[in-house]
Each structure stands twice: as structure tokens, then as C-alpha cells.
Amino acid sequence: MMEELSLHILDIVENSINAKATKVDIEIDVDKRENLVIIKVTDNGKGMDDKTLENVRDPFFTTKTTRKVGLGVSFLDEIAELTGGSLDIESNLGIGTTIQLKLPFDHPDRPPLGDIISTLITLLATNPQVWIIYRETRNGKTWEFDSKEVEGLLGDYTWLGKIKEVLYNSYKEFTGGELI
């Protein structure tokens, strides 16, 4: 199992992109008072039919034709189970999918959030055509990144390096360097 939530988020957004989403919203809510970390990913992709939705948590289920296992969602289910959290999946054919993972903040088996900026940069670099909005709230304060703000710059790798630097700095100002 991967040790950082940011890598699981990358996986979940890649599912959205595989499902032809043109817009993906990533929302993180860290509420220490409620002892919760909530991760919610909403896409406007093709959605899942009933059979897919029923089986999506099964590690041996995938609709990919290139392989026999589909691990992305099953890992989230496992983390939820391990920590006494929950995983909710809502999907409507032709409309999109929302995946919400709720974890107890202080559980020793809750993976750290990890390098979320690196996840965002990877997504921007590999899928510049997809509109990505990232919003993180920590105890009432919110930090947001909207890929529309950097649209048009993404084809150029020298710009990508600058975007990376700006995002790292701005995010660090938001978190105060606190790793969660």
C-alpha cells in the first residue's frame, strides 16, 4: 500500500481522467477539532454503471483491458477499513463520479497527506487539457489552486518549473510548513 494520501489522490484523479473527465475537483478538509481528514474528488467523467459501482472496491475488478487487477479504489477502501474511516462513492452515468474518503486525523495508520503539490504538478504536466481545481481547508483556512490560472503556460516546461516553485511557496505559506 502506498504511504502517502497524495499518491492515492493521483490515482483517483487518473481514474477520472481515464473516464474522460474534463473537470476534476479535489477537496481536502482537515479538521483537527472533529478529528477528521476528508478527501473528496468530484469529476464530470462518464460515470459508472451499476455493475461497475458494485464492484469498484474489489481489487480484482477493473474495466481496463490491459490488466487483471484494479487497485486504485480498493486501496482507499482498505485505508478506510484499517482506520475506522469511511469511503463513499456516488456515480451517475453520463454525469460523473464523487469519491469521498473520511479518515480519523489521529489514527496511527492514517497515511500522511504527503507531497500534494507534486501530485498537482504531475497532473498538470501529463493532462494539461483537464481543468483541475484543488481546495484545501485546514481548521477554517482555505488554499485554492485553479489550473485555469496557468492555462496556456502548461505546454512549456520552463514555465512548469516556475509554476512548481510558486505553488510550493504559496502552499508552504498556507500550511506554515506543518506536515499532516
Ligand X SMILES: Nc1ncnc2c1ncn2[C@@H]1O[C@H](COP(=O)(O)OP(=O)(O)OP(=O)(O)O)[C@@H](O)[C@H]1O
Question: Where does this chain bind ligand X (CB under 6 A)?
Answer: 11, 15-16, 19, 43, 45-48, 52, 56, 61-64, 70-74, 97
The angle at the Cα of 39, spanning 65 to 125, to the nearest 5 degrees, equals 60
Is the Cβ of residue 30 or residue 147 nearer to ligand X in the bound state? 147
Place of cell 472533529: 34
* 3-state helix vs strand vs coil in the chain, percent to 5: 35, 25, 35
158 vs 42: CA distance, rounded Å: 30
CA dihedral 50, 99, 124, 104 (to 10 degrees): -150
Q: At 93, is the secondary structure helix, strand, or coil? A: coil
> Could you tell me which stretch among 14-22, 43-51, 127-135, 157-165 binds Mg ion (CB under 5 A)?
14-22
Which of positions 65-84 make contact with Mg ion (CB under 5 A)? 72
**Closest separation in Å from C-beta 71 to ligand X:** 4
Q: At 37, is the secondary structure helix, strand, or coil? A: strand
**Closest separation in Å from C-beta 154 to ligand X:** 22
Which residue's CB atom is positioned nearest to Mg ion? 72
Which of positions 91-130 make contact with Mg ion (CB under 5 A)? none
**Closest separation in Å from C-beta 5 to ligand X:** 15
Q: Is 15 in the site for Mg ion (CB under 5 A)?
A: yes
List residues binding Mg ion (CB under 5 A). Answer: 15, 72
